[in-house]
Amino acid sequence: MDQRATPFDLVIRGGTLADGSGAPLREADVGIRGERIVAVDARLARGTREIDARGRLVTPGFVDIHSHYDGQACWDPHLWPSSQHGVTTAVMGNCGVGFAPVHARDHDRLIELMEGVEDIPGVALQEGLRWNWESFADYLDAIDALPRDIDIAAQLPHAALRLYVMGDRAVALEDATPDEIARMRSLARDAMAAGALGFSSSRSLNHRTVGGDPTPTLRATEAELTGIAQGLADAGRGVLQFISDFAPDGVAEFDMLKRVARTSGRPISISLAQRPATPTAWRQRLELIEQANREGIAFRAQVAPRPVGVLFGLMTSRNPLSDCPSFVALAALSLEEKVAAMRDPALRARILAEAAHHVPEVIGRRGLDFRFVFPLGDPPDYEPPAERSIAAIAKRTGVEPIEAAYDALLARDGRELLLYPFANYADGNLDACGEMLAHPHTVPGLADGGAHVGLICDGSFPTYTLAHWGRDRSHGRLPVERLVEMLTSRSAAAVGLLDRGLVATGYKADLNIIDMDRLAIEPPEIRFDLPAGGRRFHQRARGYEATVVSGQVSYVAGEPTGVLAGRLVRSRLPVEHR
């Protein structure tokens, strides 16, 4: 039968197709039946429903492999902000933190760890989590029972696994015994069999509980990591994901992780960013990754498209005035009331006087270097020049930097945010990010959707990647078709999701229809819509005319249609890599 004469449930008509393969853009119709793409051609027959995509970019749905919706997915059908930025599949359970497996006695411990590592309010987790699970398989079943707007997939978190097997000894950072390693290996195999995409762990000193204790996985031995990785090998599938500080030079740590991957035969990814203290170390890390791949080890780096940094505002978790008693006294006021109070000259003088003696600690550092603090603005500028820094503004206006910061926080009726990059901005530009993105052994990651809800808002990474690197940047732009490949098929393959990420016959019908001329991110804003009225950042996008999940239109013009076609994605096949 002539396929063009076959009726379709949905036809996306006449769009400019970036099919996810990296191939040149071309005009094509996309025909969908049920949850699958069944035809991609220049002239398809009419469908029951049609979307006119002429003059628009048509892409596969974006695959975000680094999110933290482990809690939010338990109560919220809308995985915002990710689902409003073209993401149709999000992978959670990163950085070794999550909520299964778990004994009932350890519920609070896992909440305290998630709150400390990922800045998700403990009170929201206390109210939102039902804890109707113990094993990882039980947790997946609980997630699977809830409808949502996009697909979600999960990794087995090392901290939860270690605590489940070792109890107090895990928190004390003791070495696992051979029997405990064998138990973790067995549980890891069971988790993969239940549908986990892989296993994640953290070896970072920055990852601590809300009480300041280090993550239980910090000093896990090579024998423990190898045993768990062999559990993935026993199941014949699963990827490994690690966060590490790679100190002092990182080579020994890298070699250890490489041995774990080689012994188990499982692919591995690490997080990679430019650090101010060692601004060229990321290149050395990429050289090590290249060598590992030459040796036949599937090794990747997850990289970000812009600075990784905290946001300061009058309603955020921290700002330059956070520890000043007179500012703390305003905590119960609404934003409008707080702005009105802070514009009073007497209160302004009092807070600024206190600021000299109450210097805030942010991301483990006492004090701020205002040369690297910038008003974010509207539209938000994530690659600001040095002359836009608070230090430069203070110099031009003849005031102290803390005064310039005070006034900046009051801009836009108190809705202004200050960006303080702590990674990927040592050079005062994003050239390093461009090099990392363009590397053949990297994938976009680190968006942390669902996490850092009071200080960081990076769930907009996919939109920023496409708009900034494909259209807006004055130099170093990357082809749109290549950026789409990074956000779709390359990311999907990195975690073994081989049924999505391409607009091709037989693939899952997850797609975006994008007006590239309008594509943009709006400034982040604070909302109080977590359980128990918890605070979180949200950031919207413009330019997404429609997002299709499993063949159904889930978003139109950035707004949910009420269709909840997302589901839990379980790993069923051995992971293959391109």
The residue-averaged pLDDT of 98-121 equals: 94
The reply to whether omega before 214 is within 30° of 0 (cis) is no
Q: What percent of the chain has a predicted confidence (pLDDT) above 70?
A: 97
CB 527 within 8 A of CB 384: no
Which range has the worst mean pLDDT, 95-109, 187-201, 348-362, 498-512?
Answer: 348-362
Total count of residues recorded for the chain = 578
The reply to whether omega before 379 is within 30° of 0 (cis) is yes
Q: What percent of the chain has a predicted confidence (pLDDT) above 90?
A: 90
Residue 237 has pLDDT above 80, yes or no: yes
The confidence band for 443, taking pLDDT boundaries of 50, 70 and 90, is very high
* Whole-angstrom distance, CA of residue 520 vs CA of residue 467: 7
pLDDT of 359: 78
Contacts of 184 (CB under 8 A, 6+ apart): 161, 162, 165, 176, 224, 227, 228, 231
Which range has the worst mean pLDDT, 213-227, 243-257, 462-476, 541-555?
Answer: 243-257
* Whole-angstrom distance, CA of residue 393 vs CA of residue 431: 24
pLDDT of 211: 87
Map 352-363 to HEC letters. Answer: HHHHCCCCCEEC
Q: Is this structure's pTM higher than 0.85? A: yes
Which range has the worst mean pLDDT, 73-82, 241-250, 470-479, 523-532?
Answer: 241-250
Phi–psi pair at 558, nearest 5 degrees? 80, 0
Token reading at 534: 């918890």
Q: What SS3 class is residue 444? A: strand
* Whole-angstrom distance, CA of residue 491 vs CA of residue 483: 11
Contacts of 555 (CB under 8 A, 6+ apart): 83, 84, 149, 544, 546, 547, 561
* Whole-angstrom distance, CA of residue 131 vs CA of residue 393: 50
State the Cα angle at 189 between 506 and 217, rounded to 5°.
110
Give the bridge partners for 86, in sequence order.
Answer: none
The residue-averaged pLDDT of 112-131 equals: 93
* Whole-angstrom distance, CA of residue 442 vs CA of residue 463: 18
The residue-averaged pLDDT of 321-341 equals: 96
Only one residue has tokens 């430069």, namely: 392
State the Cα angle at 433 between 427 and 438, rounded to 5°.
140
pLDDT of 210: 85
The residue-averaged pLDDT of 466-479 equals: 97
Phi–psi pair at 520, nearest 5 degrees? -165, 160
Q: Which one, of 384, 223, 219, 228, lies nearest residue 306 by Cα?
A: 384
For the chain, give the mean pLDDT: 94
pLDDT of 578: 34
Give the bridge partners for 200, in sequence order.
Answer: 157, 241
Enter the DSSP assignment of 255: H
The residue-averaged pLDDT of 316-321 equals: 92
Residue 576 has pLDDT above 50, yes or no: no
Handedness of CA 344, 346, 352, 354 (dihedral sign): negative
The confidence band for 5, taking pLDDT boundaries of 50, 70 and 90, is low
State the Cα angle at 450 between 189 and 487, rounded to 5°.
75
Q: DSSP of 127-180, one letter per residue?
A: HH-----SSHHHHHHHHHTS-BSSEEEE-EEHHHHHHHHHTHHHHTTPPPPHHH
The residue-averaged pLDDT of 370-384 equals: 97
Segment 401-424, tens digit of pLDDT: 999 999 999 999 999 999 999 999
pLDDT of 577: 39
CB 497 within 8 A of CB 153: yes
Segment 564-575, tens digit of pLDDT: 999 999 997 554
* Whole-angstrom distance, CA of residue 234 vs CA of residue 238: 10
pLDDT of 6: 66
